[in-house]
Every structure is written in structure tokens, then in C-alpha cells.
Amino acid sequence: MSFLTILAPIIAGIISLILFRLFVFSKKTGGLKEPPMAVGAWPITGHLHLLTGKGIPYKIFASMATKYGPLFTLKLGVHQALVVSSSEMAKECFTTNDKAFGDRPKALSVELLGYNYAGFGFAPYGPYWRALRKIATLELFSQFRQNTLAHVRTSEMKFLLKDLYKSWKDGKGSSEKATIEMGQWCDSLLYNIILRMISGKRYSPGDKEGDRFKQTMKDYVHLSGTTVIGDVVPWLGWLDFRGLEKKMKKTAQEVDEIFQDWVNEQKEKLSSGKHIEPKDQVFIGAMLARLDNEFEKDLTVFNKETIVKATSMVIIAAGSDTTTVTLGWAIALIVNQPRVLKKAQEEIDKHVGRDRLVEESDLKNLAYLQAIIKETMRLYPAAPIIFPHESTEDCIVGGYKIRKGTRLMVNLGKIHRDPKVWSEPEEFRPERFLTTHKDLDVYGQSYEYFPFSSGRRICVGIPLVFQVLQMSLATLIQAFEFETPNGEPIDMTETPGLVNARAKPLEVVMSPRLSHKFYEEGATNASGDSSLTAFLNGLRTPIDPSAERQLIRGFVIIDL
């Protein structure tokens, strides 16, 4: 029997399967066309060069949308990607086709750095993902947990004031003003808030262990957003250009050592049998205790320690850098516009005064401050291209047929600056969220504005992130006067990457505006109590009662 005789039926079978799939898909989609494909694809790698150069991807895609329309496709090696650039098309993806787009693409970085997809941020859509997301929500993002951890946020704000005040004293000149690089302080504040919630750790600036951890996590975030050639052209997966796979394995080992130490520490506390007060129980310990008591069958894909480490890693990576860059953009924007800064200070002076520091219970009264943060996230969303989804079945979007396995890339940077929705879309105007767009909130129900994504994969920590941003910015605005260095506007250049960071250091000129006792002694009247129910009621617009029950109970607008 010749080789061709053996090979012929195999080839015939493959062709038959392909034709059958095309027939089924054609019947399901009624012979609809596929979206337009962008020109300029390179052999083998397709349009991948658009995402790997020095250009800002969301701006490149926005320009392409002007030519091809709100839906167009790209070739990323062997994979097809659907780029969505309008609120109408985004709504179809996250409502009608939400389940179809519920999955995540596979990537070597997630496999190596994310414990083989064990973290809920990257886990495939299904029972494991649902069970894990539910537990994580209860143990960190529920109203009860946020109330018990309010003292963490309050104390970190005090540390921030003391540290910034010391930097001001050390650097002030005859003008009683000092130039401060705010990026490092924002970074330190937000890392410590989330670290204390997750592991009970905090690091001071210059702390060697803390600097090592932050650098390791920055390497982790950077490499997590890196595409290797094997991700797009599988048959070239054996090539390790630039040694990226080697770097990923090294970083994964370093991260695992840190998280394993934290897990071991919490296991020792649990095994000691001593009672742990709710305010002293960190997320890692709470997760370990819950998994010991309720290890659902859907979670048995991984062992308990792997689940805890992967989940903690995802929360720190997703919550720290994104919140830091948003706070940095907000500071830069208000310092560049003294009118906005003055109006925010007047609001805080009216509702809080200068005889005490702002508290979390005050936030519901600071409507203009909320508008500043909303407008910041409109202009500079932390992830201007939402982290890709992948379709698990054939579907229809905008009258076009979309094949199973298509990667979904939603261009928030384009949608949030749509001139049909936003007047003067390039301008920083917080007032729009108090007037023309006052009904838009951050909970992914409006597709003209959804900075935390939408649908099943919506960010699970929206209330916490928004509250921390409000409290951080309110504290800084109340406590300090800000100016731009040398009277020149702060450079607002963006950098390409997974997170939309500023390209240059955030230098501002600052001086205290409160009595010095608040910086040296901390707040004299801050109890640390948190009223999240009041906060939520003041922040968002009315929603469907069933969705509201879900939101208050679990802080997620999804069907878990």
C-alpha cells in the first residue's frame, strides 16, 4: 500500500469536516458576510506589527475605524481578531453575545505566569471560573469585607500625608514650595493598600524587600501583556525570540516564591487555632480557610494553594498598576487645569472643612470629585483596549458573521471619545458628568462609557477601586496646593502597553494647605468607618432591582 493511498482518505476526511463546518456556519448565519478585513497584513504574522511598534494601539485602531467602520477584523498570525469601535457594537458583544464572548485567548505568558490559567482573570469561562470568582468576591469585595478593612485605607492615607509632608519639608525653598515626583507616592500608596488587604504586608519607600516585590510585579505585568511568536504562529512556538519565555519562567519563579511565603505564613496562623478578628484577617488567610471548609468540586482542577496564589496575584496585578495610573492621570489633569482644582477644593472645604481630614463617609457628598474621576477614566481608561475575549461559538455582530475562536478587542479609547456622544471629546470637562452625562455610571450598563468593561468579565472590584481613587484624590486635594513646574503644562504623552501609563514622571510643585498637625499627627477625628451602602447610593444611578441586589451582595453585575 503506497503512502498516497494511506494519505488520501485522511485528506478527504479533513476536507469533509471543513466543508461541513462551513455549511453549518453558513446555515446559522444565513449566508451573512464577515466584517471587513484591514489591509496591510504581513505574511505569517498578519497585523501583529500594529501592536508591537511604538505607536499607541488604541489610536491606531481608532484611525483604522474611520476607514473600515465600527467593526473590522485583523489577522494576528493564525488567529482572527474583531476590533469594536462603537458603543452600539460593544453593546451587542456584551449583551446579546455576552456568553459567546465569555472566554479568554490562550497565551504562553498566562500559562507560565498565571499558574496555567488558575486565576479567575484568565481562566476559561465555565464552572471553575464561576466558583472561583464568587469566592473571591465574598472574601475581598463584599460589603462586609470592605467595612472590616476600612482601617487599612484610612491608615495608608495618614502614611501618605506624613511621607509627602516630610518630602515637602526636605525639599522646600524660600517660596515654601517643593517639587515632588508624585508617581512614586501614588505607587506606594496603592500597592500598600492592596498588599495589606491581600497579605497583611506593607512596604516603605526604599525598603529593599518592597522594592524587590514591586519590581517583580512590574515585570509580571509587563510580561503578561507580551505576545510571543508561538501565541500567533503555533508552529513557530519552539523559537524563543529575545529570550521572552526564559524571562517569563524566571519571573514566575520569583513571584511564586513571594506568594508561597505569604501562604505559608497564613497557614501557620490558621493552624495555631488562635481567633483572628475580621479586621485582622487578610485575603490569603480568608481564602485558605474557606477552601478548607468548602472546597467545591468545580475547584478541584487545581490544588488549594495554587488557587490562592493565582487569585491573589491576579488581584494585585490588576488592581495596583491600573489604579495607580488612573490616580496619576487625575492629578496631572487637575494640576493642568487650576480651575478644576480650585472647584474641587471648594467642594471639599464646604462639605468637610479644614478642621479635620476627609473621611470615607464624606465621599457621597463630593459629586464634583466623582465627576473628575469619571472624566479621567473617560479620557485615559487604564486599559484603553479591553483585555481580549474569545468567542466560544459562531455568532452575529452588527449583521456580520463572527466565527468561533475570534478574539474580541473593544477600543474604549475610541468609544469614550466619540464626538457623536461627547461634545469636545478631547477636552477635560468633569462638569459633563453633572449635566449632560450625569446618568452614566461606571458599572458597565452604558456602552457609551464603561471603563471597567462589561458583561460576565466585568471588573469584580469596581466599588473598591472607585472608592480608593476618590479617597486618595480627595485627601491630596484637601491637603495640598498644586502647581505645574515652571508654569508649563504637565506632559500628557501616553505609552503603549497593557496599562495606559504616562510616558514621563509626574512632577508637581506643592505646598500644605492645612494645619501642620494633620500631617505630623494624622487625623484627629477619623474613625475609619466606611459606609459603602451610602457611597454606592451616592455614586450610581438607579438600576434594575434584581441587579441592585446582586451589586450590594457581591459587587458584581453578572450572573455568577
**Superfamily of domain 28-554 in the CATH hierarchy:** Cytochrome P450 (1.10.630.10)
Average pLDDT (45-58) is 88
Confidence category of residue 323, pLDDT binned at 50, 70, 90: very high
Query: Coil, helix or strand for 503?
Result: coil
Amino acid 9: pLDDT: 55
Amino acid 498: pLDDT: 79
Amino acid 26: pLDDT: 53
| 70: nearest Cα among 78, 53, 82, 55 | 82
pLDDT above 50: residue 105: yes
Confidence category of residue 279, pLDDT binned at 50, 70, 90: confident
Average pLDDT (178-203) is 93
Q: Mean pLDDT of all residues in the chain?
A: 87
Alpha-carbon separation of residue 309 from 132, 285, 478 (angstroms): 12, 11, 38
Average pLDDT (160-182) is 94
Q: Left, alpha or beta for 389 (phi > 0: left; psi -120 to 50: alpha)? A: beta
Which grid coordinates are listed for 239?
523559537
Confidence category of residue 23, pLDDT binned at 50, 70, 90: low
| 241: nearest Cα among 530, 79, 45 | 45
Determine whether 236 is exposed, middle or buried from the number of CB atoms within 10 Å of its CB (0-12, 13-18, 19+): middle
pLDDT above 80: residue 555: no
Average pLDDT (162-173) is 93
Domain spans of the chain?
A: 28-554
Amino acid 514: pLDDT: 95
Written as one letter, the residue type at 302 is F
CA pair distance 359, 530, nearest whole angstrom: 8
Over residues 226-254, the pLDDT tens digits come to 888 899 999 888 888 789 999 999 999 99
Over residues 371-404, the pLDDT tens digits come to 999 999 999 999 999 999 999 999 999 999 999 9
Average pLDDT (332-352) is 98
| 81: nearest Cα among 223, 230, 231, 226 | 231
With residues binned 3-state (H G I as helix, E B as strand, rest as coil), the percentages for the chain, rounded to 5, are 55, 10, 35
pLDDT above 90: residue 357: yes
pLDDT above 80: residue 470: yes
Amino acid 208: pLDDT: 84
CA pair distance 492, 506, nearest whole angstrom: 9
Could you write out the DSSP letters of every residue in 270-295?
HHTT----GGG--HHHHHHHHHHH--
Least confident of 174-183, 486-495, 540-549: 540-549
Burial 297-308 (b: 16+ CB within 10 A, else e): eebebbebbbbb
Which one has a higher pLDDT value, 534 or 359?
Answer: 359
